[in-house]
Every structure is written in structure tokens, then in C-alpha cells.
Structure 1
Amino acid sequence: MASAFDYTSLITSEHSGKPKFSAMVAAVAQCFADQINVMQSIPAAFDLDTAVGVQLDAVGLWAGITRQLKLPLNVYFSLDTANLGFDQGSWQGPFDPSAGLVSLDDATFRTLIRAKIAANSWDGTIPGAAAAYSNLFNGSGSYIFIQDNMDMTMTVGVSGAIPSAVLRALISGGYLHLKPEGVRVNYYFVSSVNNTPLFGFDVQNQYIAGFDTGSWAVAA
């Protein structure tokens, strides 16, 4: 980090013993040191991993997405509503509207930006779409897969850990709509039991499993 000392230390011996001269050089040099520090802080301020607030908003605009949602998401924590309990629903802040969440927090917005960046470089294939979708659930224990129904429709499934209410709403609400032109996404499914594959026959992996392992798929 730059400081005025970087400049005052260069004062020659014939002037270094004069406090008023050194103070004048320090006062003049401080503005240049501050400018250098600000310029050096800019990359971190707008880095996707560290940006917050309006800086993260700017990063989102570069990727082509904002934290402001098209429609309110009814995702607030509730003990009496399915899939909105502990570790799933979002706490309602003091300034959040009662109609529903309309602006994403930094952590969720950062995740959405990563997914949007992956979507921007999508190659149009189903494996590529699954890889882009997986950015939404990176590190969460959720596994996403896409099934081509061979009738110009596709189904998106999420197995493993049940995603938070916000992530479910984002993916089912079309905020990351990855599909070939002319193809319709007919369903978004998640596991009905946490940390389980979706139920299905003739497959046994982290995505789909049979009796005693897989759980019924429910709409996201």
C-alpha cells in the first residue's frame, strides 16, 4: 500500500533534517499515495468473489443480469409452509416488502451471476446447460440433470440436497432459462426428501435411484 513515506524517504540529506520541508512534501505526496491505493483497490472491489453492494451490481450488469426480480418471490421463512422451514426459507429483513422478496442478497446474487456467466458461454447442448445450471448449486450438495423428452420438451431435475426456496424460485421462474430455441421446459423437479436421488427405475446414481433410496420428485 502506497504512503507519503514512499516520497519523504527520498528527500536528500541536505533537506531531510528540516521538518517543515518534510511536512510539505508529505502533504503534497499524500494525495498521490491515496490515488494509487484507490486504483489498486479497484480490481478487488469489482472481483466477483469479493464485490459487494453497488460494485456487485456493476458486475451483474456486465454479465447481463440484475438483483432486482421481475416478480416477488414468496420465499420467506415459515414454520407452517412446506419447503420454507429451517435452512430453506429466507429471513424477512426489516425493509423487505411483505409481498415477497424483490431483491437478492449479495451471496445469492453472486451465485446467480456465476450461473449467468456460464450461460453466456453456453454451447447450446444439454450437457452444457446442465454444467451452467450446476453453478447455481455449487457446493450445496444438490445435483442437477436435464432429460430430453424427445418431443421438443426437456425436464430439469435437482436431486440430493433440496435447494433453498430462493434457488428453487430462481430456476423455476426462468431467471436462468437455458434451452435450445423452440424447445420448451415442461417441468422443474426436486427431491421430496432431503439428500436423496429422485426415484426412477433402471438407474442407480446420485441423480436417480430405485426403491429404498430414491424419493418422489415434486415440482420446484
Structure 2
Amino acid sequence: MNEKAVSDYTKLITSQHRNKEKFIQMLEEVSSPMVGFFNFFATLNSKYDVDTANDPYLETLARWTGTPLIIPGAAIEEYFGFSDQENALTFGETDDPTVGGYFRESGQSGTGGLVPKGELLRRLIKAKILQNKSTGCLIETKEILTLVLDHDQFKVIDNENMTVTFKNLYPQFTKTHKILVQLFFPLPSGVQLIIEE
């Protein structure tokens, strides 16, 4: 939709009133806020288009659709440790708190929430929209999981005993992928999901 201007409306004034300056000024004053609203609403749809939206509109779309903005347990936190431990950091620097990690307590998992951004969040929103209207059939499930995982190298098998098996065929299948499959798999009530890596 083309952007409107006040002149688009004042040029519609009939010849009878075209020379009345106060009348034209009053119409300009009254129509100016309305034109601003029309232009704002015309661009609003494009800001919330899932294919083109950026932050903060993408985050708002995630909230509207119920897409998780934090994926619990999917991010490995860095902590103070030894050189042979994954994600271990040095002890730290007293003059630079950004260097080094914290002490991980006994029994602490070392994972936190992953905050999806950019294209990952866009794909998750699209997957959540599909999940929200899904009937749970295998074709819909494969479409949802293809968006979530960003590949289609997996099988979804109906075991016909109130269980469904997800079988990964992709060379890499991380804990994050497993959590995403669990979050977005559209399971009918009473059906159990089995994940095979």
C-alpha cells in the first residue's frame, strides 16, 4: 500500500471551497493525525510478517504463537574447571570479571537455557504455528521437525501401540536437537515419544 499524504485528501476539496484558506487549514489539521495512523497501520503488517520480521517484532511473534524464547537445558554453561573438561574456563582475573568461570557446585548440571535468535527463532515460530494447528499426523510432524532441525534426515514411525519413534539419521544430533524434538513434536494425548539417536 502506498503511503498517504495530507495533500491526497485536500486535493479532493471541491471548487466551491478550494479558495477558503481557513477551511483548508482546518482539514489539514484534522486529517494529519489520521494520515499518520493510516501510514502506520499500512506498514504494521509487514513488521509482523514471519518471513521478514526482525527484533523486537520477531520476539513478539514468538510470544503470540507460544514459541519458547528460552529452551531449558539446551545451552552448556561455561565454568571454572580443568583443561580436559568441555567448556571449562580458567580461574579468572581479579581485574577483569569477564575472564574465567564460576565454580560449579557438586550435582550442578552445567546447562542453562538457550535463547534462540535470528533464523533459528524464525524457524521455531513457523514450526510452532504448524504445531498449533496440527492434527498429529506424520506428514505434519515431519514438516514441523524439518523446520525445527533445519534438515529432513530423520524418520518418524508410528508403532501402532500408542508410541511414536523419532529416529535421527543426521550425523550430528546434540542435546539441543533432542530437546527441540521433545518440545515441538505434536503428540496426541496419551501417545509416548521414543527418541532414537
CA deviations 1:44-93 (Å, max 9, x no partner) are 222222333343334333323331333452299xxx999xxxxxxxxxxx
Q: Secondary structure at the match of 1:73?
A: strand
For the residues of structure 2 that align with 1:166 and 1:2, how far apart are their CA atoms?
51
CA deviations 1:93-151 (Å, max 9, x no partner) are x9xxx9655422142222112112222232233343223222324xx454332134566
Q: Which has the larger radius of gyration?
A: 2
Q: In structure 2, give the amino acid aligned to 1:179.
A: L
Could you say which residue in structure 2 is the equivalent of 1:115? 127
Could you say which residue in structure 1 is the equivalent of 2:41? 39
- Is 1:177 matched up with 2:191? no
Q: Secondary structure at the match of 1:70?
A: strand
Kindly indicate whether structure 1 or structure 2 has the higher relative contact order, using CA contacts under 8 Å at least 6 residues apart.
2
If the length of structure 1 is used for normalisation, what is the TM-score? 0.56
Q: In structure 2, give the amino acid aligned to 1:8.
A: T
CA deviations 1:173-206 (Å, max 9, x no partner) are x2213334444333242xxxxxxxxxxxxxxxxx
Shift of 1:153: 4.2
Contact 2:75 2:114 in 1 (8 A): yes
Could you say which residue in structure 1 is the equivalent of 2:144? 132
Shift of 1:18: 7.6
For the residues of structure 2 that align with 1:134 and 1:3, how far apart are their CA atoms?
45
Contact 2:141 2:186 in 1 (8 A): yes
Shift of 1:157: 2.9
Q: Which runs of 5+ in 2 are unaligned?
A: 79-83, 87-97, 103-110
**CA RMSD in angstroms, aligned pairs only:** 3.9
For the residues of structure 1 that align with 2:114 and 2:25, how far apart are their CA atoms?
52
| Candidates 162, 169, 194, aligned match of 1:186 | 194
For the residues of structure 2 that align with 1:27 and 1:161, how far apart are their CA atoms?
65
Contact 1:145 1:156 in 2 (8 A): yes
Deviates more, 1:122-131 or 1:13-22: 13-22
Q: Which runs of 5+ in 1 are unaligned?
A: 83-93, 190-220
Q: Secondary structure at the match of 1:51?
A: coil
Q: In structure 2, give the amino acid aligned to 1:33.
A: V
